A = this chain, B = another copy of it.
């Protein structure tokens, strides 16, 4: 019989927990509240209690459990130490050690975006591709780099923080990080909205966009209906998106990019928008055969990836 494994994805509001078997089949999933008060001291004990209750309920012996993997919204190094997770009010400590002591199970921890990338490699859009980069286009832009099937965590856990790559010299507005011209200023949902509002203000022809209803979803919806303004905005998005992917490809030479996050729900047109710019900027040698794929696991990617992290 296949062994069990837990995949835990800790978010700022809820913790998603999955019980999987070692082949990657999700047997059950549920959520608990993330209690961030008192420096988030209850979060891991709450997780441990929930796992133990599940084992009791399902009459699973701990010896049949490979372990528990956990994704955390903050930089986590390859040893499983988090270096501050602001949304959880966490400082620096070993998540792996703490969770292992609390559960009596082998525990490993990783950054949530990196863990999601591992999930997509294992059971999602990039299934079986050992060298890939996941790009998550959400409120911000996150990334996860998979090299030879493993997460590239970086020295201080900030590997794959591609949202803050510099892609534009002439940006006057500061990014949340304090720099100017970061990748996520043009490719996140927030960035697309900002660009769309600028284009909208300068537009005097018909458009489906309306004041007060301008966001990444309405822009891509309008694009699909052939709206001229939305086409202009998506082209600008694609120019930056392709340029950033090209830079990453020139550094890492991945086999594939896997595109996820809320913006990617618009589908293939998100990838198609990037292609001309990608081909313009990427090193001809490294581009060869680089695939661009959509993520398929949605919000479950973190659970899958966390489970895979502890399986190894």
A residues within 8 Å of B by Cβ?
A: 75, 78, 131, 143, 145, 147-148, 152-162, 164-166, 169, 177-179, 182, 243, 246-248, 250-255, 280-286, 288-290
Contacts and interface: CB of A to CB of B under 8 A. Distances in A.
A162 to B, nearest CB: 6
Contact of A243 (B153, B166, B280): B166
A289 B155 contact: yes
A286 B247 CA distance: 17
A251 B162 contact: yes
A157 B147 CA distance: 13
How many protomers of this protein does the assembly include?
2
A156 B288 CA distance: 8
Contacts of A159: 251-253
A293 to B, nearest CB: 14
Contact of A165 (B158, B164, B247): B247
A290 B203 CA distance: 45
A251 B280 CA distance: 20
Contacts of A280: 179
A154 B131 contact: yes
A134 to B, nearest CB: 13
A250 B156 CA distance: 12
Candidate in A154, A155, A165, A286 with the most chain B CB atoms within 10 angstroms = A155
A165 B155 CA distance: 22
Given A179-B281, A247-B166, A253 B147 contact: no
Given A160-B251, A166-B243, 18 more contacts: A78-B148, A145-B252, A153-B253, A154-B253, A155-B253, A155-B289, A155-B290, A156-B289, A157-B253, A159-B251, A159-B252, A164-B250, A165-B251, A177-B283, A177-B284, A178-B284, A179-B282, A251-B251
Contacts of A248: 251
Contact of A147 (B147, B246, B289, B290): B147
Contacts of A162: 250-251
Contacts of A182: 283
A154 B282 CA distance: 15
A64 to B, nearest CB: 31
Contacts of A289: 155-156
20 contacts: A75-B285, A131-B154, A145-B252, A153-B253, A154-B254, A155-B289, A156-B286, A156-B288, A156-B289, A158-B253, A158-B283, A158-B285, A159-B251, A159-B252, A161-B286, A164-B250, A165-B247, A165-B283, A178-B284, A179-B282
